[in-house]
Structures are given as structure tokens and as C-alpha cells.
Chain A
Amino acid sequence: MKWNNKKTLSAVLILLLCAVALVVVAGCGGSTTTTSQASTGSTGAAQPTGEPVVIGAIVSATGPTAALGEQERNVLQMMEQLINGKGGVLGRPLKIVIEDDKSDPKEAVTAANRLIDQEKVVAMIASTGSPSTLAVKEITATKGMPQMAMAAANDVTDKAPADWIWRTPPKDALAVSKALDYVTNNLKVKKIAVLHDENAFGSSGSAEIEKDAPGLGLEIVANESYKTNDTDLTAQLTKIKGASPEALIVWGTNPGPALAAKNMKQLGMTIPYIGSHGIANATFIKLAEDAAEGVVLPASKLLVPSSITNADQKKVTDDFIHEYEVQFGGAPNPFAGYAFEAVSLLVNAINTAGSTDAKAIQSALNSTQNFWMPDGAYNYSATNHDGLVAEDMIMVRIQGGTWVLAQ
């Protein structure tokens, strides 16, 4: 059959194309690994010997949260070499086995089971996004294995079982309390309005604001919502404008908050715009352009490294940024920082515990005090697995297309 031949031919062509693409991708991945290996290994410390200490890591290197996960994977690879260059863990080499969950909780579960059953990992670093992190948490809690989380949803540490999970990023509730603190103490206003995304991030942020506001003497005069891909928000903003608030808090991730900023400008609304940490990225500035100017938002100190005043924190941050720039050629984003902190805290706990026994690592993590990292001093305890406090975040203002300290 003639058409059948044609079809087979095109199928073969497509397969060939896929194969070529795969080779190219694999080639790139391979070459990064080799160059990074070549650039280290001469720090002069005692060579680690014996059986490696194996830590499992799950990041979202592909899929929707890949922009965050890629930097985390970079850092994990970098840290393995750095730590082994400095004598390893317990005198033994450190081995970090990295799995990609493709931003999918189901994949994260498969990866976690594989790491535990086949790689025999002693602890887990997982994962980039909150859904994957929460999925892996169920497994580590059942097995009694320490897990370092790099995701910010409140439920990661607020919801039981939380005995085996510790986190490095400031949780969403901290960002809310930081933003409300700015409204109360810096803007000194009483009447606020809330505009939030209807997704999990936006609505949990809005609920947190509703919960905290009365205690601070703040009155919420309007609370409106939108869908992530809504095409125009002037209706919501007209309603908010009608309630005459003195400041507007917008809780969501791009592109909604950028649209809100543009629409506010159109409506001639000049009240202060306070964003969430979800827009602490260049995308917001690029989308909202002029309308982004003057927007204030909570963020990690890594966004404005010059805001760090503590000497210990400054040193560890400068060293981290330097190492990252040497290896990867650009500045690390806050997510790279979370991965750096996860490895550092975990390795410190294993060294303190003096063994790779899960219970020993658990009690070492729980007794971590004043451990300075780029995001602040981590203080874990049996009941507090968050480490950071609201004061570890900063409020930044967008000015001239970049971030400056607002407080």
C-alpha cells in the first residue's frame, strides 16, 4: 500500500528526530557534570574513605516547576563535590542521588520508594513543589526517615505527621505576617483590601490574612478573587476602589498580580500595592513594566544580598554566591539557596549525630540552634520544624526595575 509506506517513512523520520534530540539533551547534561567535577577536588582536606553516606534528593528538574528545580539540582551536585573536598561526612564520602519528579507528586512517590528501597538512602531532600513534598512526606513519616523540604506551603510542617520533616524556605504564613507587619508599622494604615488568586497559593494566603488582620487592628474592607488566566481585573478593582481601602494586598503568582498592577494604573488607583513573595521574580517586573514601580513585597534576603547585616550570615551567603557563580556563571536564586540550606543542615546534623541512624539524625536536627544560613538563623526544635521566623524575611520595593529594601 502506497500511503502505508509514506506513513512508515514519516514515523521513522519522527523517531529519528526524537533520537537526535535525546542525544543532544543527554550530551549537554553529561558535559555539565564532567566540567563541574573537573573544577573541584583540590581543597587539600583529608580524603574521605569507606562506604559512602547516601542521601536521596527529589527535585523538579522538568515540568512546570523546572525553573526552580534546575537550580536546586545544580546546587545539590555542587554541594556533593564541595563537601567531599572538605573531608566528606563522618569521614566517609557523601553521595547525593538526585531523582527528577517532573513536577508530579505521583512521580515523586515512585522516586522516593526507589531511593529508599534500592539506593538505601539515610535521609531525603524533597521536593521542589508543595504537592510533591506533601506526597513524599507520607512515605518518610511511615518509614521514620528524616526529610528536608524546600517547599513553602504551610501544610508541609503544620499538618501531622510532621515528626520527620524539616523545611528551609520561609513558609507562606511568615510572608503574610511580614507583609501585614509592614502595613501596620510602616504604612500605619487600618483599612486594607485583599485581591487573591483562586488557586491554592492565593486562597491559603487570603485565609491567613483574614486570620491575622483583626489581631493587628486591621479592617479588611474588601476581599476579591480572580482566576490565574483572567483577562481583565478592572471589575474586581472597581469594587475594591469603591470600598476605599488605604492599601491593597495582592496574593498570587504571575501573571495575575501584574495584570492587577496595570489595571490599578488604568483606574488611577494610587494606594500602596503590597504583593506576595510569589512575585519576587523578574517576570513580574517584565510583565507589569512601569506599573511594577513602587510595589512592595516580602522576600528572602538572597534577593537583596546587601540587606544581610549579621557577619556569620554574610559570610556563608557570600561564599555560597561565589561558589555558585564560579560553577554556573550566574547568581543563584532563592530556590538555589533553599537546596544549599537543606544539604548544609542535614550534613551538619549527621556530623553532630555521629551516625547515620535515623533517630540520631532526628534528634540532632531537632537540637539545631542558631545555624546561620543565607536565609537566616535556623532554630529547629521538637515542635518547631520551620527554622525561620518572619524577621528573617525582608520587605523590598520595586524601584527602577530592580529590588531595594523597603524598611
Chain B
Amino acid sequence: MNFEQFLQYIFSGITNGSIYALTALGFTLVFNATQIINFSQGQMVMLGGMTAIAFHGAGVPLWACFLGAVIVVVVISMGLEHVAVRPLLSKGVLAQIIATVGASFVFETAAMIIWGRQALALPAFSGERPIGVAGATVVPQTLWVVGLTVVIVVALQIFYRRSLFGKAVRACAVNPSAARLQGISYRKVVLFSFALSGAISAAAGVMITPISFMSYSSGALLGLKGFAAATLGGLGNPVGAVAGGFVLGIVEALGVGVVSAGYKDAIAFVILLLVLFIRPVGLLGARVVTRQ
């Protein structure tokens, strides 16, 4: 492997990694407020991409497709919270997680009925002319995805650490009963977290469709990789989720380079297991989010 190839593997890893990172962020937000792993997160990303494609097909400009998709998925995500998660509040976290698994099938089947089986495409935001760096190339859309990831993470950090409502969300994650005693509306925090996670997922879906297309069945693999990334980085920590995404993407790409593409998932998951053995909370996981 020469340097040029090495750099290309890194770029390939960053492209996939930023996609995993954006999906992982959605997991983190919901987990932070509720301790629920939302297994329909990948399908939310898929719905974001598919909705944007539908808007674009109707002649709507790209930026408006982006906004439209975000609004639609936020509504769906809040609907999910209202219909499937809130009624099960007293039944415990496990019941709520299973409800999200059910929701993932509903979203996937609905998408298949609405948009059919075929994968669909969306034009890139600023052209497809690859940018060359020392012999390796990267498409402009990847920079958009990486840029969006950075902006979202910084915004989330400010929100969680500086704003009162952000602190309230974190308080709920630490101890919901104590938070409620302080006058924080737990229900509002949960609903808000689902809305925000829906918005980020939709944005991710719209951003990655020009790179990798989107079909009704894309959500499952995205969800799996996003969940792995979130776990690797430390569930509950947005910075960790993003770091986990990039590490996973780059390890996979180098796995292709060093061994073979057939083993890249195996290599990635072995690394994930190793990290969890050594540091059960993940790379950047903080103990504070672990509810007793």
C-alpha cells in the first residue's frame, strides 16, 4: 500500500464514517434523554432521504427539499414518541425499545409501498467534480456531510452545556425522578429529544443520498452501523458518537485495503468488541449518563 492508496482509504473511511457518525448522533440524542435505543433510527435516515427525493421529483429546489424532509421526519419522529413510546412509559425501557423495532418495520414497509423497491438518486449539492489531494480524491458532497457533522456536534455541545433547557435534558438522563422534582417536564424533554433526533436523521438522509443513493431497505444497514458507531464512541456522548463513526469508517476502509472487503464488517466488529472489553462505556463514554 503506497501513500496515495493509504490516503484514498482514509478518504473512503471518512466518507462512510461521516455517514455512520450522523446516524449515530440520532441514537445518542434519544438515549441521552430516555435510555432507549431507538432501533428505527436507520429508517428515519432513510425516510429523510426518500422524502427529499420525493420533493425534488416534484420540482422543489434542493434547499427546500432539505427543509421539507427535516420537517416531515420531525413530525414522524414525534408521532413515534407519542404513539409507540409514551404509552409504554410505565412498562419500562425494554418494552419501549421493542416498540421502536416494530416501528422500523412499519417505516420500511410504508416506504416500499410509497416509493417502490428501486433505489433512487438525488443530485449533489455542489457538483460531482472530485477534489484531488496528493493523488487521492474526495467528492464535494463528502465535505458537506463532514461539515454538517461538525456543525451539529458543536451546536449540541453548546446546547447541552450552556442552555438551561439543555441542562434540563442532561438532568433527565442522569435521574428522571430527581429532575422531575426540580420542576423539569420529563415528557417535554423526551418529546423534544425525539424531535431533535428526527431532524438530525432527516438531515443525514438528505446529505448522504447524493453519495450513496437511497432505497426503502437502506435503513437497516445504516441503523446497524450507526448503532455500532454510537456504542464504540460511548452511548450518550455526541462527540463520542462522531468519533466512533469516523473510527468505524476508517477501520473498515483500511480493512478492505489490508485484508479483503469480505472481512471488513468482521474486522470492524472485532474492534468494537475489543474496545468494549477494555472500556465498557466506549471511547468517550462518560459514567454520568449511566442511569442506575
Contact = CB atoms under 8 A, between A and B. Distances in A.
B252 interface: yes
Nearest to B139: A266
Report whether over half of chain A's contact residues are helix, strand or loop; otherwise say mixed. Answer: helix
Contact of B137 (A239, A266, A283): A266
A235 B257 CA distance: 7
Interface in A105-163: none
Interface stretch (B13-21, B146-154, B236-244): B13-21
A267 B137 contact: yes
Interface residues of B, number: 41
B212 A242 contact: no
A239 B254 CA distance: 10
A212 interface: no
A65 to B, nearest CB: 8
A225 B261 CA distance: 6
Contact of A236 (B117, B213, B218, B256): B256
Contacts of A289: 121
B118 A232 contact: no
A255 B221 CA distance: 14
B261 A266 contact: no
Interface in B1-46: 1-2, 5, 8-9, 11-13, 15-16, 19
A363 to B, nearest CB: 40
Contact of B212 (A239, A259, A265, A267): A259
A231 B264 CA distance: 13
B119 A266 contact: no
A268 B252 contact: no
Contacts of B262: 198, 224-225
Classify the secondary structure of B's interface with A: helix
A235 B13 contact: yes
Interface string B203-224: 0000010011101011011100
A283 B265 CA distance: 28
A264 to B, nearest CB: 11
Nearest to A262: B128
A67 B19 CA distance: 30
B102 interface: no
B130 interface: yes
A238 B212 contact: no
B9 A238 contact: yes
Contacts of B281: none
Nearest to A65: B117
Nearest to B257: A239
A258 interface: yes
B253 A235 contact: yes
A322 interface: no
Nearest to A266: B130
B260 interface: yes
A227 interface: yes
A229 interface: yes
6 contacts: A66-B117, A230-B212, A241-B5, A255-B119, A265-B130, A267-B137
Given A224-B261, A242-B1, A254-B119, 6 more contacts: A64-B117, A231-B212, A234-B11, A235-B253, A242-B2, A259-B212
